[in-house]
Structures are given as C-alpha cells and as structure tokens.
Amino acid sequence: MDLYQLFYLSRSVAAPDDLDRLLASARRHNQRRGVTGVMLFSGGHFAQLLEGPAQALRETMVFIDADTRHTAVTRLVEGPIARRRFDNWSMAFFEAPGADDLIHHLLAGAPVSLERAQRIMERMLAHCPPTEH
Ligand SMILES: Cc1cc2nc3c(=O)[nH]c(=O)nc-3n(C[C@H](O)[C@H](O)[C@H](O)COP(=O)(O)O)c2cc1C
C-alpha cells in the first residue's frame, strides 16, 4: 500500500471543552479512511502526525485546514513511509506542555529546512510513550 505521513503544527483557538469532541470526530473519520497517528496538545498549540494512503491524507487535511478551532496550520514534514508508527491508533493523544514555546517560535519564524523539521518531529514524537490499544 502507498503509505504517507504528514506532520504539521498549528495554533490552538480551541476551548478546553472542544478537545474531547474534536478527538472523537477525528478518530471516527480516521478509522473510516484508514488514517492513524498522534495528536500532541501543548496548551496553546497542536502538533499532529497523520499516516495513511495519500488520498486519505489529502481528504483529511481538507477538514483539518478548514477547522476553525486552530489557525496557522503549517506542514513541516510530508512524504512516503515504509510503515506506520501508530498502527493501533486512529488518533493517539498526548499533552505536551513542554513543546509550547518551541511550536510558538517555529510558527512565528522563518520556514525550517526539511532536515530540521524531521529532527523536530522526532524529538516531539520521542515524548509519546509507547502506545497500546
Ligand atoms: C487539531 C485538529 C486535529 C484534527 N485532526 C483530525 C483528524 O485526525 N482527522 C479528521 O478527520 N479530522 C481532524 N480534524 C478535523 C475535525 O475533527 C473536524 O471537525 C472533522 O473532521 C469534521 O467532521 P465532523 O463535522 O463530523 O465533526 C482535526 C481538527 C483539529 C483542529
């Protein structure tokens, strides 16, 4: 299967109460489309890794781009992958308060190189404990 990943950052304008609803809806749609991944919420920002077939990721990003609970949706890493990291998860969720400043600076600053973006992604994902069902 043609597997792709997409990692983006965004600025949250979600109310605390929005998160449960947002996640439930994301998981429902992702399960239907064969999309997996992880959402990191740092308080003021989101970072999200999506994995799945290219067409499924394109469809998903249309909804994500249009969602008014966040702004400044900025794709950092996009490309083919050999296997999924979160294959048991229609969308894992972790709070990552320590990442808030970094994401703020990244969104406010100049675009980052792919190499740096990949390092940043790996560093953020390293904070996600191993996931289970
Ligand atoms: C930070 C963030 C992450 C999101 N992640 C996903 C996602 O993984 N999959 C998805 O289909 N929609 C995602 N969305 C979009 C919303 O869940 C959106 O409401 C939904 O796709 C629209 O469907 P609904 O009207 O049935 O709720 C995300 C939105 C935000 C703000």
Which residue's CA is minimally distant from atom 21 of ligand 1?
A: 63
* Contacts of residue 23, Cβ cutoff 8 Å, sequence gap at least 6: 39, 91, 93
Alpha-carbon span 52 to 43, nearest angstrom: 27
Which residue's CA is minimally distant from atom 28 of ligand 1?
A: 64
Span from the CA of 27 to the centroid of ligand 1 (angstroms): 8
* pTM (2 d.p.): 0.95
The string of pLDDT tens digits covering residues 82-102 is 999 999 999 999 999 999 999
Contact residues of ligand 1, CB 6 A cut-off: 22, 25-26, 29-30, 39, 46, 48, 50, 60, 63-64, 67, 69-70, 91
The string of pLDDT tens digits covering residues 23-41 is 999 999 999 999 999 999 9
Q: Quick check: helix, strand or coil at residue 12?
A: strand
Res. 64: pLDDT tops 60: yes
Q: How many CB atoms lie within 10 A of CB 32?
A: 11
The string of pLDDT tens digits covering residues 104-124 is 999 999 999 999 999 999 999
pLDDT for the residue numbered 53: 98
DSSP 53: E
* Ligand 1 nearest-atom number relative to CA 37: 8
Q: Are 37 and 78 in contact (CB under 8 A)?
A: no
Which residue's CA is minimally distant from atom 2 of ligand 1?
A: 64
